[in-house]
Structures are given as C-alpha cells and as structure tokens.
C-alpha cells in the first residue's frame, strides 16, 4: 500500500472518531431531554461506534507498519481482527436494544416522551454529520480497499435508517401521542444492526481463515498471465486475503533453454503488470521449466 493510501485510511479513521464522539454527546443530551427509546438505541449504537472507531484507528495505524522479521507478510491482518471485534460489538448492542424495545412494548404502561422537537433537531444534525462521514469513508474505501474503513462505513450507513426512524417516532409522538412507534423503530434498528454485523463478521472471518480472493480478481490475474510473452503456461495460482492485501502465488512455465536473465525479466514484467492492475496485491512468481511440446496457456 502506498503512503498516500495509508494517509487516506488514517484520515478516515480519525474522522470516524471525531464524528462518533460528537454524536455521542448530542444524542446523550437529546435522550436525557426526551426519554425516547429510539434515541437511546441510536445513542447506544453511536457509543459502540466510538469504541469501534478508536479500535479501528489503532488497527489502521498498526496495519500500516511495514513487514519486519516477525511479520514477513506485514501487519494487515490487524484490520480483520478489528473488523471481527466490530461485528461482535454490534451484535451485542443490537440484542440489548431489541430486548429493551420488547420489554417496553409488553409493559403495562408506556412512558411518555418529552421535548420531541429538540430530539428531532438533534437527530437531524446527527444524520447530517453521519452522511458527511459516510461519503468520505466511501471515497477512501474505494481508493484503498481497506476492509476496516469499509466495515466502519457499513455500520454508519446502518445508523441512517434508525436515525430517520427516530425522527419519525418523535414526530408521531408529538402529533398523535403514539409513543409505541418509538419502540418499533428501535426493533427495526436492532434488525439492521444484526444484518450489518453478520456481513462484516463474515468478511473478517473469511480473511482470517485465508479465504481466496474475489473470483473476479483471480480470473483477471489468470487473464494477464495467459499468453504473456515468453510464458508457455501457468499453474498453481493461489490467493489469500489479509486486511486490504491480497497475496498471490503463481507458477509460470518458461523455456528451459533461455538465459536466466531473460527468464527473470519475463517474470518481473508479468509481476509488474499484475501489480498495475491490482495494486492491493503482493505477488510472488515461481519459474518452472515448460514441458517439451507444451502450448501456451494454463
């Protein structure tokens, strides 16, 4: 990863911490003023966002460290560990919010809400901040392929629906006195959070278990190697993911009678072509002698 990509991911991490800190303060104030469970659900989500954003920022800083003697392939798996922790925190929060909403719906008496106008104003400001953060995280995730930034963006996107729901619940309560809408919104927010946690957790788990890269990436690498000048064939194309990195191992078959320098140049040129197309990869190419009478291709 380039220094520019590292700076982009760090700015996304710091922006996430700043926004989540602001949202926690705003929603805590609004919850104490209104007593709305939908705002409490959004506050709990933002508090967890803050914890996870701090952890994500730390993971991004650690993952940016270069390879060393103890970590020959770098430190990018720290991103997957952070993303898995995010998924677990989101799951716990969603279950707690869902349980609380269920208790309120089944309670014999439903507590009244207050100062709904203040609550709606705070939630609108929160949504504006969240939209700005999501926009920036989307740009960074597309530019760098960072799994942590993408995971962070996913659960902030998940905050938008509960935030809108909280505004609707407060408006309905203020206009018609239907306070149970607040609890139903909280239940919907819980379901959205559980879905997001499953998506983030699966991606992180797959990476930690050395799952192969996206099939489209593998096919693209094979297409580059197929028919590359001087390459008579290739085999054992293997990939694994770690954080935003994709590690590639590829065996190419070359003319065994050609000079070593020519063989080296062919392999080096092929490696550079793969890196230009997929800059997030780390490519190792092994050179084998092509069988006599073999034809180009895999």
**Domain ranges, ordered by start, for the chain:** 3-208, 215-289
- Phi, psi at 164, each rounded to 5°: -65, -40
Arithmetic mean of pLDDT, 87-116: 70
Beta strand 281-289 with 245-254 is parallel
Better pLDDT: 4 or 222: 222
What pLDDT score was predicted for residue 237? 93
- Residue 54: is its pLDDT beyond 80? no
Q: Give the whole-angstrom CA distance, residue 265 versus residue 244.
A: 28
What pLDDT score was predicted for residue 230? 93
Q: Give the whole-angstrom CA distance, residue 217 versus residue 82.
A: 24
- Residue 289 CA, distance from chain mean position: 41
What pLDDT score was predicted for residue 65? 62
Better pLDDT: 231 or 150: 231
- What does the block give as tokens for 39? 């705002």
What pLDDT score was predicted for residue 88? 81
Better pLDDT: 43 or 244: 43
- Give the pLDDT band of residue 126 (cuts 50, 70, 90): confident
- Residue 113: is its pLDDT beyond 60? no
Beta strand 233-242 with 245-254 is antiparallel
Q: Are 42 and 27 in contact (CB under 8 A)?
A: yes
- Give the pLDDT band of residue 243 (cuts 50, 70, 90): low
What pLDDT score was predicted for residue 296? 47
pLDDT tens for 55-67 read 667 666 666 566 5
- What does the block give as tokens for 5? 């990509």
Tell me which of 18-27, 136-145, 160-169, 176-185 is least confident: 176-185
Q: Give the whole-angstrom CA distance, residue 75 versus residue 28.
A: 36
- Strand order of the β-sheet with 233-242 is 233-242, 245-254, 281-289
Q: Give the whole-angstrom CA distance, residue 9 versus residue 47.
A: 21
Average pLDDT of the chain to the nearest whole number: 76
Fold of 215-289: Alpha-Beta Plaits (3.30.70)
What pLDDT score was predicted for residue 283? 92
pTM of the model: 0.53
- Per the DSSP assignment, residues forming a β-bridge with 287 are 252
Q: Give the whole-angstrom CA distance, residue 79 versus residue 236.
A: 27
The sign one gets for the Cα dihedral 102, 105, 108, 113 is positive
- What does the block give as tokens for 20? 């989540």
Q: Give the whole-angstrom CA distance, residue 97 versus residue 217.
A: 39
- Residue 294: is its pLDDT beyond 70? no
What pLDDT score was predicted for residue 285? 94
H-helix or E-strand spanning residue 136: helix 116-144
* The length of the chain, given as a count of residues: 298
CATH code of the domain made up of 3-208: 1.20.1510.10
What pLDDT score was predicted for residue 182? 64
- Per the DSSP assignment, residues forming a β-bridge with 246 are 241, 281
- Give the pLDDT band of residue 224 (cuts 50, 70, 90): very high
The percent of residues in the chain predicted with pLDDT above 70, rounded, is: 68
What pLDDT score was predicted for residue 260? 92
Ramachandran area for residue 285 (φ above 0: left; ψ -120 to 50: alpha; else beta)? beta
What pLDDT score was predicted for residue 231? 93
Percent of residues in the chain assigned helix, strand, coil, to nearest 5:
70, 10, 20
What pLDDT score was predicted for residue 72? 45
- Give the pLDDT band of residue 116 (cuts 50, 70, 90): low
pLDDT tens for 253-271 read 999 889 999 999 999 999 9
Strands (E), 67-203: none
Q: Give the whole-angstrom CA distance, residue 283 versus residue 285.
A: 6
Q: Give the whole-angstrom CA distance, residue 115 versus residue 36.
A: 10
H-helix or E-strand spanning residue 137: helix 116-144
The sign one gets for the Cα dihedral 124, 128, 129, 133 is positive
């Amino acid at each position: 990863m380039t220094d520019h990509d590292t700076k982009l991911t760090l700015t996304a991490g710091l922006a996430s911490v700043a926004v989540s800190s602001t949202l926690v303060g705003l929603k805590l104030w609004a919850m104490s003023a209104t007593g709305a469970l939908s705002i409490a659900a959004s506050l709990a989500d933002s508090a967890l966002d803050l914890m996870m954003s701090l952890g994500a920022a730390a993971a991004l800083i650690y993952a940016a460290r270069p390879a060393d003697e103890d970590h020959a392939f770098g430190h990018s798996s720290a991103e997957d560990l952070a993303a898995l922790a995010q998924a677990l925190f989101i799951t716990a929060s969603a279950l707690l919010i869902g349980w609380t909403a269920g208790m309120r719906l089944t309670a014999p008496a439903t507590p009244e809400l207050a100062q709904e106008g203040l609550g709606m104003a705070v939630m609108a400001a929160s949504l504006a901040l969240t939209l700005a953060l999501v926009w920036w995280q989307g740009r960074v995730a597309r530019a760098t392929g960072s799994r942590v930034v993408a995971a962070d963006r996913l659960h902030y996107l998940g905050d938008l629906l509960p935030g809108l729901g909280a505004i609707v619940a407060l408006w309905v309560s203020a206009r018609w006195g239907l306070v149970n809408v607040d609890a139903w919104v909280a239940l919907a927010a819980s379901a959205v959070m559980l879905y997001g946690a499953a998506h983030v957790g699966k991606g992180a788990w797959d990476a930690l278990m050395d799952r192969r890269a996206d099939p489209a990436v593998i096919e693209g690498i094979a297409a580059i190697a197929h028919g590359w000048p001087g390459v008579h064939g290739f085999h054992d194309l293997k990939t694994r993911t770690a954080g935003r990195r994709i590690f590639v191992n590829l065996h190419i078959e070359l003319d065994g009678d050609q000079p070593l320098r020519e063989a080296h140049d062919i392999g080096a040129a092929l490696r550079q072509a793969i890196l230009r197309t997929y800059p997030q990869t780390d490519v190792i190419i092994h050179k084998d002698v092509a069988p006599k009478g073999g034809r180009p291709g895999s």
